[in-house]
């Protein structure tokens, strides 16, 4: 019997496998080169020019993203034509929309093969960024094949109509959603938002009432329970026009078994903090509460737009001498939600120009100083910013709650503004950060253990403060004894945080 000789096949298979592997590694390296300078379009185009043939979309998608960050929409079409994949078309439409090139974005829908659902979704979102809701509806109802419409598509359309204050159109879109798909909780949240922004408060209230009733009696298998955010949006809108009866009606829908009695103004009216110095007008207005003397930083507060959350923004403005006159410019802000003697930190933002100068710990220290002065317990919401987690754990000794992801964080030796993150569980690490997080927080995820080893922190979890005495000592160590000039009493600080009559003050330990 004859047995053919296949010995020549194995070296060939090995060669092909090695070649594919090397191409994959090369593509990853090129992609990381682009990611290392996310705003440098010259660098990105130089890296792209080194690519001969690749089936991988990643480097081209990253290059398109750089076009958006560097405001170079003129290069988007050229990049797409070099690699006309569907993923690149979706990204190109998104970038052009963000750069206010709506006509160019919509024109990409007709390039090459039939566009995917993702590309149509990006086109509708691009219309939303241009505040052109009529074009968005045209894409949704006339251009996009109805069989491609998904729940996500409907939500993108509803979000656009909410941004453009088109409550009537949003209601019509949701009522006529294709039979092969179904609205979800996010769909109704966008609809309520559109109604609220269009001053259709009574319609929004009726919608909440119907949703609550359908959910209670199980009238439909698709019945959806209204979220707290939906109720809060309507209540916040009623409070802005001082419609206290409207607020009572919404609260009775939310909690039918607990009647709302008495005047609700103390709970739902915006506070204007009488006695404090107000600066500016409209949305930019803030009230001065303190000064950080060593750094010449003015600290102010703004009420959260949603009074139900009793939230405030703690604002930081740097004072500088420009052309002989003292001026102020925004430096940072902290966002918090306050309730039941707790102040929960939700996030922090610091201007790029001042990062890496140790100001983040000063901002956190000011928030905690106010909490210590008024016996308010500081906690946090879910924190997913590595730098913020690092400060909370290692500078202020906050303790992470159960859950979350443990990672090692260290500084990139080649780019000090980039953080390197490593976790033994690669899947958990990738799931913790979206591409948007990686790009906007200057993060690079590592697959191998860093050398030198980094500090261990937790992300995607909430934190609790240490013992009050320990916390006060840590805050004093960061800020110094007389760094803050503030003339508010404990009761006034509590009024500042909770937006209503202060409860009995507990003496500071």
Among 10-24, 110-124, 129-143, 175-189, which is the least confidently predicted range? 10-24
d(CA 15, CA 414): 34
Residue 88 falls inside a structural domain: no
d(CA 293, CA 262): 45
- pLDDT 10s digits, 166-225: 999 999 999 999 989 999 999 999 999 999 999 999 999 999 999 988 887 765 556 788
- Give the domain extent around 255: 199-269
Residue 119 falls inside a structural domain: no
Number of H helices, E strands in the chain: 21, 14
49, 52, 56, 61 alpha-carbon torsion, rounded to 10°: 20
At residue 20, the pLDDT reads 41
Angle at Cα 390 formed by Cα 289 and Cα 290, nearest 5°?
10
- Tokens read off for 79: 């990049």
d(CA 99, CA 113): 24
Residue 454 falls inside a structural domain: no
d(CA 392, CA 461): 12
Domain count, the chain: 1
User: What is the sign of the dihedral through the CA atoms of 204, 209, 215 and 220?
Assistant: negative
- pLDDT 10s digits, 242-268: 788 888 899 889 888 766 555 565 555
- Tokens read off for 48: 């792209």
At residue 505, the pLDDT reads 33
Q: Residues 6 or more apart from 446 whose CB is under 8 A from it?
A: 420, 421, 422
pTM score, two decimals? 0.61
Packed helices 185-197 and 167-175: angle between N→C axes, nearest 10 degrees = 150
Residue 476 falls inside a structural domain: no
Residue 388 falls inside a structural domain: no
Residue 274 falls inside a structural domain: no
d(CA 93, CA 90): 5
Which comes out higher in pLDDT, residue 328 or 200?
200
Looking only at the bridges linking them, the beta strands covering 484-485 and 443-445 are unpaired
Mean pLDDT score, 138-160:
94
- pLDDT 10s digits, 400-436: 998 788 888 888 887 777 888 888 876 667 777 777 7
Residue 248 falls inside a structural domain: yes
pLDDT above 70 covers what percent of the chain?
85
Residue 443 falls inside a structural domain: no
In the predicted structure, residue 363 carries a pLDDT above the cut 70: yes
Looking only at the bridges linking them, the beta strands covering 377-380 and 342-350 are parallel
């Amino acid at each position: 019997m004859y047995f053919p000789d296949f010995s020549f096949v194995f070296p060939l298979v090995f060669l092909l496998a090695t070649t594919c592997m090397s191409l994959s590694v090369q593509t990853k390296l090129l992609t990381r080169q682009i990611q290392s300078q996310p705003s440098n379009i010259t660098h990105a185009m130089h890296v792209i020019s080194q690519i001969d043939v690749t089936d991988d979309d990643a480097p081209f998608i990253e290059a398109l993203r750089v076009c958006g960050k560097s405001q170079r929409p003129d290069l988007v079409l050229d990049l797409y034509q070099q690699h006309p994949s569907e993923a690149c078309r979706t990204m190109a439409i998104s970038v052009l929309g963000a750069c206010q090139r709506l006509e160019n974005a919509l024109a990409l829908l007709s390039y090459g093969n039939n566009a995917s659902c993702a590309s149509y979704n990006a086109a509708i979102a691009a219309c939303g960024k241009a505040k052109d809701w009529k074009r968005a509806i045209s894409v949704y109802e006339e251009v996009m094949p109805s069989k491609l419409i998904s729940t996500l598509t409907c939500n993108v359309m509803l979000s656009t109509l909410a941004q453009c204050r088109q409550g009537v159109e949003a209601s019509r879109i949701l009522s006529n959603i294709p039979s092969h798909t179904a609205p979800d909780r996010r769909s109704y949240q966008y609809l309520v938002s559109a109604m609220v922004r269009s001053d259709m408060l009574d319609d929004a209230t009726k919608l909440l009432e119907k949703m609550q009733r359908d959910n209670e009696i199980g009238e439909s298998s698709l019945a959806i329970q209204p979220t707290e955010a939906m109720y809060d949006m309507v209540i916040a809108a009623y409070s802005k026009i001082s419609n206290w009866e409207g607020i009572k009606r919404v609260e009775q829908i939310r909690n039918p078994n607990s009647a709302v009695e008495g005047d609700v103004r103390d709970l739902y009216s915006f506070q204007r903090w009488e006695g404090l110095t107000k600066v500016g007008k409209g949305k930019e207005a803030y009230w001065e509460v303190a000064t950080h003397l060593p750094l010449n930083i003015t600290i102010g507060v703004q009420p959260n737009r949603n009074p139900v959350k009793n939230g405030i923004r703690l604002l930081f403005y740097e004072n500088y001498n420009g052309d002989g006159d003292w001026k102020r410019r925004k430096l940072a802000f902290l966002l918090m939600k306050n309730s039941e003697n707790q102040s929960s930190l939700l996030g922090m933002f610091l201007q790029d120009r001042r990062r890496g100068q140790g100001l983040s710990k000063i901002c956190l220290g000011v928030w905690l100083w106010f909490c210590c002065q008024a016996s308010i317990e500081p906690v946090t919401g879910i924190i997913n910013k590595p730098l913020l987690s690092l400060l909370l754990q290692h500078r202020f000794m906050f303790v992470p709650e159960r859950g979350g992801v443990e990672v090692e964080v260290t500084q990139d030796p080649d780019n000090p503004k980039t953080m390197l993150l490593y976790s033994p569980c690669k899947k958990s690490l990738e799931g913790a950060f979206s591409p948007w997080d990686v790009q906007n927080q200057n993060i690079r995820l590592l697959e191998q253990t860093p050398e030198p080893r980094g500090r261990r922190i937790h992300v995607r979890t909430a934190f609790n403060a240490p013992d009050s005495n320990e916390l006060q000592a840590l805050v004093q160590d960061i800020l110094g004894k007389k760094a803050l000039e503030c003339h508010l009493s404990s009761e006034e600080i509590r009024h500042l945080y909770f937006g209503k009559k202060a409860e009995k003050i507990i003496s500071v330990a």
